[in-house]
């Protein structure tokens, strides 16, 4: 897989700016190398559901993004085949961070694990765990 | 489970209005009864990724919403424990519709299947299939 | 995908005989064409867990098998990339049947839905629902 | 959750002996405490599919078992609501080991991650990764 250009932090920061939805959420990629990607998302009210928590669909989106980026750091351009997320705690916090890590990559697909955390008053709480299958394109 | 008030179309339309993220997306609930919920989402550029397709995280959000609503039509207030989505085609279309259907409900949890379709020039194309586990609260 | 020989009922019945685990369980393929596969499994005590129900891992195996076979009826030789199963009722019955149906197939992967049912005293009960991603090889 | 008796290695070894399917496979629990469970399974031909690899359904069964046991070490008696497994490498080896670890537990459900490895000529290779939702009963 070494012949394909892989994603880097610089490249992904450009991609995020060119991605209207990701950019609108305020999601920022903070790491992308060696099969690991990380992001942060500041809380904003527009991301919440009717109880005031960040919507589970947004948490899943973070998991999807960080998984695709982790895969892209190994295999270059990718598309998500599937992602799955367990919502473990309500999305309450001033900021959310997510980390995706490639578990296995080959020419056909990349398996990724992810975690999403909420930061609230200096505490970091696990909000979701996810898995994804990402395809090189 | 008959003693709990279940969700109806009227109730959910109020919930959507009170849910900043769902409301922002433009997502509209169009059916909610008897274990089935349906929604529509008009395309807007703010929902896309860098190739101009609706972001997979938004597709997953539709699957999550419609699954939770289908469950709520049977058991009342709910929270999503997990959802899983397979992205089968790019999110290209003027409008997206999603349908969730309860497969099994008991006091502890509700299993739901969902499909998301894109409408483009009069054609309906399957974009995603999903499953979810929804908890009565 | 038309150039690859696809699986048929005859072929799969030979494959099952050549598959020691599937053969040991007593699992029998009863349909395999047009993106649909079905199987039956008579109850036997060796398949149970400590409460006397058929083990959830065996139910998942049925889901995996029938999903791979449904895919093989469309694309020929396959391997399972992932499968996911929701266990909806205890595995109680004289016989189990499962059905897998291809939702979407392309050159890279096949998405399949499956259901597993228990037959008990003339009643058919849904025991599990599953999804799988199957790869052409 | 402290009032319920939790599973221990001793208890689970008895449960395995009383579980015809698990016992037939040769699967042996080797650790069960503090939210972690581990097992080993020696290769035998009866567990294979038609290419001679251990059947993916058996790999999924290992993931299911070790996940349920990890949960039982925290909350006592359990039942599996769902499990999901990504098959990352063929099941080739003299022995298989699996490890499940509780990510989050509450009164309603327990989220578990698992890995399955093959041991072959002194090498340990990742064969599968899984997640499961386990319910206290």
Nearest residue of C to residue A104 by CA position?
C81
Nearest by CB to D85, which of C24, C49, C82?
A: C82
Task: Please name which of C108, C125, C25 lies closest in space to residue C66, comparing C-alpha atoms.
Answer: C25
Distance of CA C68 to the CA centre of its chain: 7
Q: Interhelix angle for A56-75 vs B56-75, to 10°?
A: 150
ipTM above 0.90, yes or no: yes
What is the per-residue pLDDT across D16-31, written as a single tens digit (0 to 9) for each? Answer: 999 999 999 999 999 9
Given a contact cutoff of 8 angstroms between Cβ atoms, the answer to whether A40 and B71 are in contact is no
Distance of CA B5 to the CA centre of its chain: 20
Given a contact cutoff of 8 angstroms between Cβ atoms, the answer to whether D114 and D100 are in contact is yes
Residues whose CB falls within 8 Å of the CB of residue D123, separated by 6 or more in sequence, listed in order: none
| Tokens coding C13 | 């019945």
Rounded to two decimals, what is the model's pTM? 0.96
Given a contact cutoff of 8 angstroms between Cβ atoms, the answer to whether C105 and C76 are in contact is no
Give exposure, A69-80, as e/b (b: 16+ Cβ within 10 Å): bbbbbbbbebbb
Distance of CA B24 to the CA centre of its chain: 15
On chain C, the residues whose CB falls within 8 A of the CB of B129 are 103-104, 111, 113, 131
User: What pLDDT does A114 receive?
Assistant: 98
On chain D, the residues whose CB falls within 8 A of the CB of A131 are 84, 86, 129, 131
User: What pLDDT does D4 receive?
Assistant: 78
Nearest residue of B to residue D82 by CA position?
B133
Residue C82 sits at the chain A interface (C-beta within 8 Å):
yes
- Angle at alpha carbon of residue D75, lines to D74 and D81, rounded to 5°: 110
Residue C108 sits at the chain A interface (C-beta within 8 Å):
yes
Q: Between B and D, how many residue pairs show a Cβ–Cβ distance under 8 A?
A: 15
User: What pLDDT does B40 receive?
Assistant: 98
In chain A, the DSSP E strands lie at: 28-33, 36-42, 78-87, 95-105, 110-120, 123-136
Instruction: Classify residue D48 by its DSSP letter.
Output: B
Alpha helices (runs of H) in chain D, residue ranges in sequence order: 9-17, 20-25, 56-75
Please tell me the distance in Å from D18's CA to the nearest CA on chain B: 28
Distance CA C100, CA C68 (A): 8
Instruction: Classify residue C75 by its DSSP letter.
Output: H
Please tell me the distance in Å from D89's CA to the nearest CA on chain C: 9
Strands B95-105 and A95-105 turn out to be unpaired
Strands D110-120 and D78-87 turn out to be unpaired
| Tokens coding A26 | 């305020």
On chain D, the residues whose CB falls within 8 A of the CB of A82 are none
| Tokens coding C63 | 């889901």
Residue found under tokens 């409301």: B23
What is the per-residue pLDDT across D67-124, written as a single tens digit (0 to 9) for each? Answer: 999 999 999 999 999 999 999 999 999 999 999 999 999 989 999 999 999 999 999 9
Nearest by CB to C135, which of A82, A84, A108?
A: A108
Given a contact cutoff of 8 angstroms between Cβ atoms, the answer to whether C33 and C8 are in contact is yes
What is the per-residue pLDDT across C53-92, written as a single tens digit (0 to 9) for each? Answer: 999 999 999 999 999 999 999 999 999 999 999 999 999 9
Mutate to test the interface with A, among C108, C112, C130, C137 (most CBs of A within 10 A): C108
Residue D15 sits at the chain C interface (C-beta within 8 Å):
yes
First CA to last CA across chain D, in angstroms?
12
Cβ distance of D131 and A89 shorter than 8 Å: no
Please tell me the distance in Å from A121's CA to the nearest CA on chain B: 24
Cβ distance of D84 and B84 shorter than 8 Å: yes
Given a contact cutoff of 8 angstroms between Cβ atoms, the answer to whether D33 and D55 are in contact is no
Task: Please name which of B6, B135, B47 lies closest in space to residue A90, comparing C-alpha atoms.
Answer: B135
Residue D106 sits at the chain B interface (C-beta within 8 Å):
no
Cβ distance of A56 and B24 shorter than 8 Å: no
Neighbours of C40 (CB within 10 A): 17
Burial class (CB in 10 A: 0-12, 13-18, 19+), C71: buried
- The three-class DSSP label of residue A60 is helix
Average pLDDT, chain B: 96
On chain B, the residues whose CB falls within 8 A of the CB of A61 are 55, 57-58, 60-61
| Tokens coding D62 | 């290992």
What is chain C's pLDDT, residue by residue, as a tens digit (137 residues)?
Answer: 456 789 999 999 999 999 999 999 999 999 999 999 999 999 999 999 999 999 999 999 999 999 999 999 999 999 999 999 999 999 999 999 999 999 999 989 999 999 999 999 999 999 999 999 999 99
What is the per-residue pLDDT across A86-105, written as a single tens digit (0 to 9) for each? Answer: 999 999 999 999 999 999 99
- Residue D126 predicted with pLDDT over 70: yes
Cβ distance of A58 and B21 shorter than 8 Å: yes
Q: What are phi and psi of C5, to 5 degrees?
A: -70, 130
Distance CA A73, CA A71 (A): 5
Distance CA B53, CA B38 (A): 21
Question: What confidence category does residue D1 fall into, taking pLDDT thresholds of 50, 70 and 90?
Answer: very low
Task: Please name which of D27, D105, D121, D26 lies closest in space to residue D72, comparing C-alpha atoms.
Answer: D105
Neighbours of D10 (CB within 10 A): 10
User: What pLDDT does B1 receive?
Assistant: 45
User: What pLDDT does D36 receive?
Assistant: 98
Residue C26 sits at the chain D interface (C-beta within 8 Å):
no
Residue D9 sits at the chain B interface (C-beta within 8 Å):
no
What is the per-residue pLDDT across B44-93, written as a single tens digit (0 to 9) for each? Answer: 999 999 999 999 999 999 999 999 999 999 999 999 999 999 999 999 99
The region, left, alpha or beta by phi > 0 then psi within -120 to 50, assigned to residue D78 is beta
pLDDT along chain A (137 residues), means of 10: 80 95 98 98 97 97 98 96 98 98 95 98 97 97
User: What pLDDT does C4 receive?
Assistant: 78
User: What pLDDT does A3 receive?
Assistant: 67
Distance CA A134, CA D60 (A): 21
Residue A82 sits at the chain C interface (C-beta within 8 Å):
yes
């Amino acid at each position: 897989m070494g012949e394909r250009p892989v994603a880097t932090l610089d490249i992904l920061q450009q991609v995020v700016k060119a991605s209207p939805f990701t950019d609108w959420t305020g999601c920022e990629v903070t790491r992308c190398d060696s099969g690991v990607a990380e992001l942060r998302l500041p809380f904003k009210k527009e991301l919440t559901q009717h109880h005031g928590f960040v919507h589970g669909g947004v948490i899943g989106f973070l998991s999807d993004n960080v998984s695709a980026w982790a895969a892209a750091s190994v295999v270059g351009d990718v598309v998500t085949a599937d992602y799955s997320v367990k919502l473990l705690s309500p999305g309450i916090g001033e900021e959310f961070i997510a980390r995706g890590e490639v578990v296995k990559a080959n020419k056909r697909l990349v398996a990724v694990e992810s975690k999403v955390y909420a930061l609230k008053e200096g505490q970091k709480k696990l909000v979701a765990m996810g898995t994804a299958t990402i395809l090189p394109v």
